[in-house]
Amino acid sequence: MTKNMLIARYQQVRQTTLDICSHLENEDFVVQPNTEVSPPKWHLGHVTWFFETVILKKFKTNYQGFNRAYDELFNSYYKAIGTHTIQSERGNLSRPTVAEIMRYRAHVDDAIFSLLAEKEIADDLANLIETGLHHEQQHQELLFMDIKSILASNILPTQYSQLPLSAAPAPISTWANSEEGLYEIGYGDTDSDGTRFSYDNERPRHKHYLYPFTICQSLVTNGEFLAFIQDSAYCKPQYWLSLGWDWINQTKIHHPLYWSKVDGKWFEYTLHGLIPLDMNKPLVHISYFEADAFAKWKGLRLPTEQELEVYLSNASNKPTSKTDTYHPNDANASEQVWCWTSSQYSAYPRFKAFDGLLNEYNGKFMCNQFVLRGSCVVTPDQHYRNSYRNFYLPHQRWMFSGIRLAKDIV
């Protein structure tokens, strides 16, 4: 990537973050309705802190930091750097103000542009900037997740987008077969979509043996999951993992996140507001526990992450272009929801973590989490790869998570 291309990409990614937040009122920027959610103003500060800490303090001669207190305030989880604000307390801070964080972003952007103008860009600097941009794109998706949680917590009807949602097309429940054999899994020098960036947890590319399997080419829909609810499956322990059964009994959860019943009719909260439940829309905001129970109820299973990568790498299953809506609307498309897999998040054979400050980026989370594959409607353009490994705890549901079913061929 040339210097001009890198500068243009930096400008585009940084502006997109501001565009996402342009729908918000000032009061929305500080709210934290639960411990999973971070206030939008914290996201704005953190992604800027990343460029300041990882790049400017290392490469920019005589760089003057914006505010020393930000070293701790906007550090997310990098223990080697020092202490940081506990995630659950990010919403307790009225300062810095949104305006001051915007000044912080401008200060760091100016320093990055100055750095790039000083000299030719060495590979290590270019790689760190590209990593920082993908890191910010991760937070752009997180912003949509967190904004949805924040707006949904309001008593007054609130929506992010004024655009209407069209009715979803009917699912086409065909299946895609894959033969038994040895497959190449993970990111190579150039992934199948032509990109040259990847996170350390996607590497190295390695061989993995798969038995014959088939994957449903449509995502599980709201209507399908409603049948699961109507069969009282939330109350039948035979479908649930032990921890999942404990979880639903402790939390009293009996339907997906953002579903509600009003006067006997089901509704779903979306970034477009509260809408009647569309039976053909893809199911979204579901936990691993619920996904696994639903698969058992159907007499099927969740795919492994390797099976789903093979499926997504098929040319006919590539994600299509996104629409200007912020809710999944087509169960026949690949990019609508992140799909749970049965694979626990762990290192690939011969895994090597990022060097330096980024050593803590992924590897430290390889415990008690499950992998999701496939991207979603709010995944930024140029950020997705078939080898991309998303991961969450099995009870979490505020991300755009859904279900794609699989079965063995015998």
Between β-strands 213-216 and 406-408, what pairing exists: parallel, antiparallel or unpaired? antiparallel
What is the pLDDT, as a whole number, of residue 325?
87
- Can you tell me the mean pLDDT for 242-258? 98
- Can you tell me the mean pLDDT for 83-112? 95
For residue 397, the one-letter residue type is R
What is the pLDDT, as a whole number, of residue 193?
46
pLDDT single digits (tens) 9-24: 999 999 999 999 999 9
DSSP annotation of 389 reads: -
What is the pLDDT, as a whole number, of residue 321?
46
In this model, does residue 403 exceed pLDDT 70?
yes
- Judging by beta carbons within 10 Å of its beta carbon (0-12, 13-18, 19+), is residue 104 exposed, middle or buried? buried
- Full-model pTM: 0.95
Give every strand in the sheet of 213-216, ordered side by side.
175-178, 213-216, 406-408
Element (H, E) at 7: helix 3-21
Give the count of alpha carbons within 13 A of 206, CB side only.
12
What is the pLDDT, as a whole number, of residue 323?
59
For residue 148, the one-letter residue type is K
Both tokens of 270, joined, read: 């979306």
Both tokens of 221, joined, read: 């829909």
For the chain, give the mean pLDDT: 94
What is the pLDDT, as a whole number, of residue 314?
86
pLDDT single digits (tens) 252-279: 999 999 999 999 999 999 999 999 999 9
Helix (H, G, I), strand (E, B) or coil at 261: strand
With contact defined as beta carbons under 8 Å apart, do 141 and 376 qualify? yes
pLDDT single digits (tens) 36-90: 999 999 999 999 999 999 999 999 999 999 999 999 999 998 888 888 889 899 9
Which are the contacts of 299, defined by CB distance < 8 A and separation ≥ 6? Answer: none
Rounded to whole angstroms, the Cα distance separating 212 from 227 reads 29
Chain centroid to Cα 299, Å, comes to 28
In this model, does residue 214 exceed pLDDT 60?
yes
For residue 372, the one-letter residue type is L
Alpha helices (runs of H) in 22-122, residue ranges in sequence order = 40-50, 57-59, 70-73, 98-118
What is the pLDDT, as a whole number, of residue 315?
57
Rounded to whole angstroms, the Cα distance separating 38 from 138 reads 13
- Per-residue b/e over 52-65, b at no fewer than 16 CB within 10 Å? bbbbbeebeeebeb
Candidate from 83-87, 198-202, 314-318 with smallest mean pLDDT: 314-318
DSSP annotation of 348 reads: P
Euclidean distance between the first and final Cα of the chain, in Å?
Answer: 47
Helix (H, G, I), strand (E, B) or coil at 282: strand
- Can you tell me the mean pLDDT for 300-316? 92
Rounded to whole angstroms, the Cα distance separating 64 from 68 reads 10
In this model, does residue 322 exceed pLDDT 90?
no
Alpha helices (runs of H) in 220-339, residue ranges in sequence order = 222-230, 242-251, 288-297, 305-313
What is the crossing angle of helices 123-152 and 3-21, to 10°?
10
- Can you tell me the mean pLDDT for 273-291? 98
pLDDT single digits (tens) 112-145: 999 998 878 888 999 999 999 999 999 999 999 9
pLDDT single digits (tens) 334-393: 889 999 999 999 999 999 999 988 999 999 999 999 999 999 999 998 899 999 999 999
What is the pLDDT, as a whole number, of residue 191?
47
- Judging by beta carbons within 10 Å of its beta carbon (0-12, 13-18, 19+), is residue 80 exposed, middle or buried? exposed
Rounded to whole angstroms, the Cα distance separating 49 from 317 reads 37
DSSP annotation of 342 reads: E
- Can you tell me the mean pLDDT for 195-210? 93
pLDDT single digits (tens) 26-36: 999 999 999 99
Q: Which string of DSSP letters, residue by residue, matches 190-245?
A: S-TTS-----GGG-S-EEEEE--EEEESSPPBHHHHHHHHHTTGGG-GGGS-HHHH
With contact defined as beta carbons under 8 Å apart, do 207 and 328 qualify? no
Rg (CA), the chain: 22
Rounded to whole angstroms, the Cα distance separating 185 from 340 reads 18
Phi (first) and psi of residue 129, to 5 degrees: -65, -45
DSSP annotation of 293 reads: H
